[in-house]
A and B are shown apart, each in its own frame.
Chain A
Amino acid sequence: MGILPNMKVRIAALLMVALIPGAAIGVVSVPHSYELASTGYFRDSDTVPGAYQLYLQTPESKGGFWGLGPGDSDLKRASFKADAHAGVRNYSPGRRCESCHEGQRYSIHSSRGGVACVQCHRSEPIAGINHYYSAMNPIRRHAYVCAKCHEGATASFASYLVHEPSPLAQSTEREFPLLYYATWIMAILAVGVFLIFIPYVTLWGIREFVGLFGRKQRHG
């Protein structure tokens, strides 16, 4: 029973700690429109100005599975921005994405599935993929983006690279080692089979033709 007053003090102190900063800064409960546009979901405390800085994330420099996965690609500062195009001169929402994002032009999602950029990257202003509120942020990408088509998508599923690097390119050895090595091994296997067989069967065909022709001549 002797502990009880002590506990009351502790609870009071905890409440003070929790409430005073809020009271001092003044809680802003109305989210910015871009935050709504990006995710539509956040907690009140997240709307405190500057609060999102707490959640800035740096993706791991190396992927899982002994560093064989994707991960070591260049991080863009803009990928952390709430509006990735803020301050970009000659940007206008009317421009085609691929006129600047040349490297992201090809993905089988767009070329075969007919998925448009904004179906994943959302409407204006487009949040950087690592911004805390972005629908593309890895913490919610699977639920907010992938699961729109792939029912039951998990965070693991969302680690599939939609804009995958060219598998045979030298830079892929660093960016996505397993893709690089697996594709090279398969390509060497495939090319190797034909390098051996094409000349082999061509000469073989000639040899048989000569053999049969020669025999006919001898018998004829």
Chain B
Amino acid sequence: MVNINTNVRRFTALQMMFHFGLIVTFMLLSVTGLAWMFIETSWGKTLAAPFGGYTGALEVHKITGLVLLALFALHILYTLVHIDWKHPSRTLLGPDSIVFQWRDVKDFFRHLGWIMGMIKAPEFDRWSWWEKFDYWAVWWGLMIVGVTGLMLYNPVLTSHYLPGWFLNVALWVHRIEAVLAMAHIFTIHFFIEHFRPRCFPFSATMFEGSKDIKHLREEHPAWIARLETEGGLQALMVKPSPVPLRILYFGVGYALIGLGIFLLVFGLINVSLLTLQI
């Protein structure tokens, strides 16, 4: 079974590294950020303890934030390099593009129609509308949380260029965007990618870079059909990862999912103890 090419390659090693870098920095930022946000509660103090209290947690938060922004800058560079600048519309508006197109709006409503049991499921090409949404949500989120994070990184320096009261605003925007990002990842993203019946219990695509063709014929039929007619499918066929590796992916994946759900559940339990006034 393992020796047969049953999987179709979906991500390159570099793309997977970007995603893994995002996971590590995001989780570290979540733990240290929530530790600071909940430092009044015993749960917050427990989260901060591995970093030596809130000062250490804040220090790690700041450095990790810089690492994530550097990763983001590298990713922007990566996307710019991959655009065919002679024919930008080919890379940006082609069927392999992750850029939102009119088709995605129609797909969203068709998908909703299928959910309601009214019409046939839409046939997604390489990227479905929710995959595109998840990808661009990181851009939008990082812009907001990154700019405000940099402002808060050195408040004294920031106040040389902006009035100090901008920091009141920056802190609230940073906080709400971060809570939105965490809540989205720990509920919607985890559900769509791992918990919904077709993917349960775990989808390792972002770790092994490929996906079973049977699954893809259901989830991305237009892409597979296009590859078959264009004749590019064979070049993308690969073997699934060996079992030990898949066990590792599952273990690491579930440790991260567990951490996310732990943060979500305990954050919700402790939220009434916060003295923060909104």
Which residues of A sit under 8 angstroms from B160, Cβ to Cβ?
Answer: 154, 156
The complex places the Cα of A197 from the Cα of B133 at a distance, in Å, of: 11
Contact of B172 with A186 in the complex, beta carbons under 8 Å: yes
Contact of B191 with A205 in the complex, beta carbons under 8 Å: yes
Residue of A105, A156, A197, A198 touching B163 (CB-CB under 8 A): A156
**Which B163-212 residues sit within 8 Å CB-CB of chain A?**
163-169, 172-173, 176-177, 179-180, 183-184, 187-188, 191-192, 195-198
Contact of A153 with B156 in the complex, beta carbons under 8 Å: yes
Contact of B165 with A193 in the complex, beta carbons under 8 Å: no
Contact of A212 with B112 in the complex, beta carbons under 8 Å: no
Contact of B164 with A166 in the complex, beta carbons under 8 Å: no
B276 close to A (CB within 8 Å):
yes
Contact of A209 with B176 in the complex, beta carbons under 8 Å: no
B78 close to A (CB within 8 Å):
no
Most chain B CB neighbours (cut-off 10 Å) among A105, A179, A186: A186
Contact of B40 with A190 in the complex, beta carbons under 8 Å: no
What is the interface of chain A mostly: helix, strand, loop, or mixed?
helix
Partner-binding segment picked from B20-28, B68-76, B113-121: B113-121
**Interchain nearest-CB distance for B122 vs A (Å):** 13
Contact of A111 with B165 in the complex, beta carbons under 8 Å: no
Partner-binding segment picked from A10-18, A62-70, A83-91: A62-70
The complex places the Cα of A71 from the Cα of B196 at a distance, in Å, of: 51
Interface size class of B (residues with CB under 8 A): 35 or more
Which residues of A sit under 8 angstroms from B172, Cβ to Cβ?
Answer: 167, 179, 182-183, 186
Contact of A203 with B116 in the complex, beta carbons under 8 Å: yes
Contact of B112 with A205 in the complex, beta carbons under 8 Å: no
Contact of A157 with B159 in the complex, beta carbons under 8 Å: yes
Which residues of B sit under 8 angstroms from A111, Cβ to Cβ?
Answer: 40, 275-276
Q: A168-B278, A208-B196 given as contacts; is B179 within 8 A of A190 (CB)? A: yes
Most chain B CB neighbours (cut-off 10 Å) among A150, A164, A176: A164
**Interface size counted on chain A using CB atoms at 8 A:** 48
Contact of A106 with B173 in the complex, beta carbons under 8 Å: no
Most chain A CB neighbours (cut-off 10 Å) among B40, B117, B159, B183: B159
**Interchain nearest-CB distance for B110 vs A (Å):** 13
Residue of B36, B165, B184 touching A70 (CB-CB under 8 A): B165
Contact of A157 with B164 in the complex, beta carbons under 8 Å: yes
A204 close to B (CB within 8 Å):
yes
Q: Mark B145-165, 1 if CB is under 8 A from A, else 0.
A: 000000000011001101111
A93 close to B (CB within 8 Å):
no
The complex places the Cα of A64 from the Cα of B164 at a distance, in Å, of: 11
Which residues of B sit under 8 angstroms from A200, Cβ to Cβ?
Answer: 112, 115
The complex places the Cα of A187 from the Cα of B173 at a distance, in Å, of: 9
The complex places the Cα of A64 from the Cα of B169 at a distance, in Å, of: 14
Q: A160-B168, A166-B277, A182-B169 given as contacts; is B54 within 8 A of A203 (CB)? A: no
Contact of A204 with B168 in the complex, beta carbons under 8 Å: no
Which residues of B sit under 8 angstroms from A112, Cβ to Cβ?
Answer: 36, 39-40, 54
Residue of B36, B114, B168, B183 touching A179 (CB-CB under 8 A): B168
Contact of A193 with B184 in the complex, beta carbons under 8 Å: yes
Which residues of B sit under 8 angstroms from A156, Cβ to Cβ?
Answer: 159-160, 162-164
Contact of A186 with B176 in the complex, beta carbons under 8 Å: yes
Which residues of B sit under 8 angstroms from A207, Cβ to Cβ?
Answer: 114-117
Q: Mark A95-134, 1 if CB is under 8 A from B, else 0.
A: 0000000000110100110000000000000000000000
Residue of A65, A187, A212 touching B176 (CB-CB under 8 A): A187
The complex places the Cα of A164 from the Cα of B172 at a distance, in Å, of: 11
A29 close to B (CB within 8 Å):
no
**Interchain nearest-CB distance for B81 vs A (Å):** 31
The complex places the Cα of A198 from the Cα of B114 at a distance, in Å, of: 17
A151 close to B (CB within 8 Å):
yes
A152 close to B (CB within 8 Å):
yes
A161 close to B (CB within 8 Å):
yes
The complex places the Cα of A207 from the Cα of B167 at a distance, in Å, of: 45
Which residues of A sit under 8 angstroms from B163, Cβ to Cβ?
Answer: 63-65, 69, 156, 159
Contact of A194 with B183 in the complex, beta carbons under 8 Å: yes
The complex places the Cα of A16 from the Cα of B36 at a distance, in Å, of: 62
Which residues of B sit under 8 angstroms from A190, Cβ to Cβ?
Answer: 176-177, 179-180, 183
Q: A64-B163, A193-B184 given as contacts; is B156 within 8 A of A176 (CB)? A: no
Contact of A209 with B116 in the complex, beta carbons under 8 Å: no
What residues of chain A have their CB less than 8 Å away from a CB belonging to chain B? Answer: 63-65, 69-70, 105-106, 108, 111-112, 150-154, 156-161, 164, 166-168, 176, 178-179, 182-183, 186-187, 189-190, 193-194, 197-198, 200-201, 203-205, 207-209, 211-212
- Pairs A–B under 8 Å by Cβ, sample size 5: A152-B156, A160-B164, A197-B184, A201-B191, A205-B197
